[in-house]
Structure 1
Amino acid sequence: MLNYLKSYLKRVKSELNNKTLRRLLLIVLTLFPLSAGGIVLVEEGEYFRTFGDALWWAVVTATTVGYGDMYPQTLIGRIIAIWVMLLGIGTVGAITAKLADLFIETKRRKELGEVPARYEDHLIICGWNRKVKDIIQQILNENLEQEIVLIANKERDPFPDNDDVHFIKGVMEEEDILKKAGVMKARAAIIVNKEQNDAKTVLTVLNIENLNPNIYTVAEISDSRNKIHLRNANVDEIIVDNAISSQLLVRSALYSGTSKVIEELLSNESGNQLYMLTTKKDDVGQEFLDLFIKYKKKDGLILIGIKRENEIIANPDNEQKVRANDKLVYIAGSKL
C-alpha cells in the first residue's frame, strides 16, 4: 500500500508540470488569501476578527462544506462570498477531479503491472506456474510483514485485492524487468520452474546475481542435470521438482505416513513446522545435545540440525559444538 501511495504521489508531482493543473492551483492559492483579506477589511462584525478566521471561511466556502459558523453581513462582503462560491467551487472541483483521475490511472497501471517496485529487503517471486498462488499464500500465512513482488507474464494482476503483493508484468529473465522489481535492494528471490524450461531459470539466476550478488536465490528446476549450471550461476539453493516428488513417493511406500509428516512440516496452516533460530550468545560453544535438552524443556521445540554457512548438518553428533553465526534448525508449533 505504501508503494502504491508513493507511486500516486510521484504521478501527482509529475502532473504539476501540466499547465492546466498549475493554473487551477494558482487560482486557488490566489483566491483564498485575497478573499480572506477582503473580508477582513469590509466586515467589522464578530465573525471575521483575524485573517485566520477569514481564511478558514474562504476554504470552507470554496470546498462546499459550509459550516455556517460565520458569514458576511455587508453588501461587499456578500459579493466577495459569491465570487468565492462561483470561482472557488468550480476550481476546487476541477482539481479534485484531476487528482481522482490520477488515482484511478495509478490503480489501473498497478493492475497492469506497470508500476515499479520501490521496496527494500523484499522478496521477489520470478515466474508463474500452478504453485505460485500457494507459495504466496504460505508466505502471507507466516505474518512476517514481508513485501512480495511477483514477476509474471500475465495480462493483469493475479492478486488485485491484495496490497501485500506487488505485480510486475514481464518476462522474468529480462534485466529491465528485474530492475523494475527492485532486485538490487531485494533480500531474496524465488525462481519457479516455468513450463519445465530450466534454461530460463538459469538465465534468470545469472541476471539476478549479476545485478545483486548479495541476494539469496532459491531456484526450481525439473532436470537434476542442470544443477551444475545453477551452481555456476551462484544460486544459493536448488529445488529439483520431480526428484523431490519421486523421493517422497518412495519413502511413503517404504515407511507409511511419511508424506503426511512432510506435509505438516512444510505447511504453515496447522501443526508443526520447520524454523531456524539464530544462535544466541549463551549457546555458542555448547554441545548440541545440551541445547537439544535445554530448548525441549524450556520452549517445547525439537532441534534437528545446524545451518553453518552454506552447509546443513542434520542430526548432528551429541558432542557437536555450536559456533557463532550458526543457525539452529528446529520443529515447533510456532516460531520462537
Structure 2
Amino acid sequence: MVIYPDPRIVMSVPENTSVPGWAWRQYLAVRESFRDVRDRLKHERSVYIMAGLGLALLSLGVAVFLVERANMPAGDHSNWIDTIGHALYWMFVTGTTTGYGDYYPHTGVGRALTVLFLVGSMVLTSIMTATIASYFVERRLMEGKGMEKVSWRGHTVICGWNVNGRDLLEGIYRETRDSAQVVMVNNLPEEEVSELLYQFARQGLRFVRGDFVHESVLGRANCALAATVVILADGVIHNGFAGADERTVLCALAAKSMSPTVKVCAELVDEKNQGHLRRAQVDHVVVLGEHDDYLLSKAVAAPGVAVAFQEILNPVRGPYIHQARIPAQLVDQDFAALHRYFREKRGALVIGVVSEEERGMNLEDILSDDMSAIDQFIKRQFEGMEGDYFHKSGSIKLKINPPDSYKIQKNDVALIITSESSGNP
C-alpha cells in the first residue's frame, strides 16, 4: 500500500503495469487535482448560471441566423449572416463587444434578438469575470490561512516553530541565494504568520496551518515530493518545550512513511531521545543548546576557542564555513594537494572532507548476475514498483583534518573556512 501526497489518495500501484511507481504517483496527484477543480465547480452556482446563459446566447445566435437567412434578398448579400460559420463568427465578435461590422443583422427581428444577445453577453462576461476573480482571491486567502495545498516538488518543509525559526529561514535563503522553496507547517497566530510571509514575500515563502504530526497536514505541504524536512523543537522556552520531542519523533515517522528517501533533519530538546530518531531513520539530529556548556567552559579556560567558534558560526560577519565542490583534476590526489589548491585559488583553509555513502538497496542488489528463472520472476513482480519497495539514501561521513596522504574520492566535498559568503564558486 502506498501513501500519496494527497492523503485522500491511497492506492496500490497496479501489478500489470510497467509504469514506475513515482510516475504513477504523479499521475494520481494530477488526476486528484482535476477532481478537486471538478468538485469545486459542482458547488458553484455561478457555473450553472453561466452554462444557462451560454446556452441561451447560443440559441439567440442560431435564431438570428435563421431569421436573417429566411429574409435574405436575392443578389449581393456579402454582409449578411447567411452561413453557420458567419453566425458563429458574428456571435463571438458581438459577444466580446468588438463589433467589426463586417456581418450584422438586417431585419427588425434580427436586430431585436441582437439587443437581447448583447445584454446577455454583458451579463455573462460580468459573471465570468467575478467568478474568476473570486477564485483567485479565495485561493490567496486560503494560502494566507495555510489551508491551500502546495504543489511544489524538491522543496524544503519546516515543521514546528520556536525562537530559532526566523534565523533558520534567513540562513536557508542566504545559503541558497534566495532560490530555495520553503514551506512552513505550524499553528502560529495569524499575525505572526502574516509578518513572516511579508518579510519573505520576495523568496516566495509558503505556509500550511495544522498539526505537523498528521499525514493529512504534511500532505498539504506535499511532503511526499519534498527534498528535505526540517523538524524544529516545537514550543517556547518558558513552558519547557512540553512534549516537543514526542511530536518530533511522530513527525519524523510520518515524513519517512510518506517518502522514505526524503532527507529529515530534526531538533531535540533531550539528547536521550536521539535513539528514537535514529530508529526512525532521521538523517541528522541537532540537540537544542548541546554546545552551550562546552562554549561556557572554554570561555573560562580558553576564551580564544569560544570566540573562534562564535565567529565561525556567526552568519553575518564571517569568516564562513562552507562546503565546496572539488575540481575533477584533484580526484585521486592527496589531501595536501587539495589544501594547496584552495589556499592558492580562493585563500581558503580546508579543514576536512565530507563524503556521502549510499545505504539501503535497490532491485538490482537482490538479483544474481546470471538472472535465473527466480530472478526473472522477482524482476517481473517488482518492475515499475521499485520506488515503493526499494530505496537508497545517503549517509554523511565527515573527516576532519585528515592526513596529507588521504586520497580524494569522487564523491568528496571540501569543508572550508573562507571570507567569501558563498561556498561554491
Whether TM-score is above 0.5 comes out as yes
RCO higher in 1 or 2 (8 Å CA, sep ≥ 6)? Answer: 2
Q: How does 1:258-273 map to 2 (within 5 A)?
A: 258-259=306-307, 262-263=310-311, 265-267=313-315, 269=316, 271-273=318-320
From 217, 231, 246, the equivalent of 2:293 is 246
Code of the residue aligned with 2:342 in structure 1: it is Y
* Distance in 1, Cα, partners of 2:189 & 2:207: 11
- Paired with 1:109 and 1:128, the residues of 2 have a C-alpha distance of 21
**Deviation of the 1:146 alpha carbon:** 1.7
Corresponding residue number in structure 2 for 1:326:
412
**Matched residue SS, 1:242:** coil
Q: 1:14: which partner in 2?
A: 39
Is contact 1:149-1:166 (8 Å) kept? yes
**CA distance in structure 2 between the partners assigned to 1:263 and 1:31 by the alignment:** 73
Q: 1:319 to 1:34 in 2, by over 3 A?
A: farther
**SS of match in other structure, 2:250:** helix
Structure 1 segment 1-336 matched on structure 2, within 5 A: 12-18=37-43, 20-25=46-51, 27-28=53-54, 31=57, 35=61, 38=64, 44=78, 51=86, 54=90, 57-61=93-97, 70=101, 72=104, 74=106, 76=108, 78-141=111-174, 142-156=176-190, 157-158=193-194, 159-161=196-198, 162=201, 164-195=204-235, 196=241, 197-253=244-300, 254-256=302-304, 258-259=306-307, 262-263=310-311, 265-267=313-315, 269=316, 271-309=318-356, 310-332=396-418, 333=420, 334=422, 335-336=424-425
Relative to structure 1, the CA distance from residue 106 to residue 35 in structure 2 (aligned partners, 3 Å threshold; closer, same or farther) is: same
User: Quick one: which amino acid aligns to residue 168 of structure 2?
Assistant: I
**One-letter amino acid of the counterpart of residue 57, structure 1:** V
SS of the residue 2:234 aligns to: coil
Aligned partners of 2:33, 2:51: CA distance in 1, in Å? Answer: 18
Question: What is the Cα deviation at residue 80 of structure 1?
Answer: 4.8
Cα distance, 1:97–1:301 mapped onto 2, change above 3 Å:
same
SS state at 1:243 partner:
coil
| Conservation of the 8 A alpha-carbon contact between 2:186 and 2:208 | yes
Judged with a 3 Å threshold, the aligned counterparts in structure 2 of structure 1 residues 69 and 320 are, in CA distance, closer, same or farther, namely: same
* C-alpha distance 69-261 of structure 1, shift in aligned 2 (>3 A): farther
Residues 296-336 of structure 1: per-residue CA shift (max 9 Å, x gap): 32234332211123221112222211112122222331232
Q: CA deviation at 1:129?
A: 0.9
Structure 1, residues 266-297: CA drift from partner, whole Å, max 9, x if none?
Answer: 51x45443322344432221111101211232
Greater Cα shift, 181-190 or 226-235: 226-235
**TM-score, scaled to structure 2:** 0.66
Q: Select between 301-310 and 245-254 the one with higher mean Cα deviation.
A: 245-254
Query: Partners of 2:56 and 2:416 in 1: how far apart?
Result: 66
Is the 8 Å Cα contact of residues 46 and 131 (structure 2) preserved in structure 1?
A: no
Q: C-alpha distance in 1, partners of 2:258/2:36?
A: 27
Gaps of at least 5 residues in structure 1 are: 1-5
2-side partners of 1:203 and 1:227: how far apart? 13
Inter-partner Cα distance in structure 2 for 1:10 and 1:224: 45
2:385 alignment counterpart: none
Shift of 1:144: 5.0
Task: Look up the equivalent residue of 2:261 and give its one-letter code.
Answer: N
Which amino acid is 2:130 matched to? A
TM-score w.r.t. the length of structure 1 is 0.81
Q: Is the 8 A contact 1:205 1:235 kept in 2?
A: yes
- Report which stretch shifted further, 223-232 or 181-190: 223-232
Quote the offset at 1:88 in angstroms: 0.6
Cα distance in 1, alignment partners of residues 148 and 248 from structure 2? 24
Distance 1:289 1:80, change over 3 A: farther
SS in 2 for 1:235: coil
Deviation at 1:232, TM superposition (A): 2.3
Q: Secondary structure at the match of 2:289?
A: helix
Structure-2 change in CA distance of 1:273 and 1:26 (3 Å): farther
Alpha-carbon distance between aligned partners in 1 of 2:281 and 2:182, rounded to the nearest angstrom: 22
Q: 285-294 vs 159-168, which deviates more?
A: 159-168
Change (3 A) 1:327 1:169: same
Partner AA of 2:134 in structure 1: D
Unaligned runs of 5+ in 2: 1-29, 236-240, 357-395
Q: Are the aligned partners of 1:127 and 1:191 in contact in 2 as well (CA < 8 Å)? A: yes
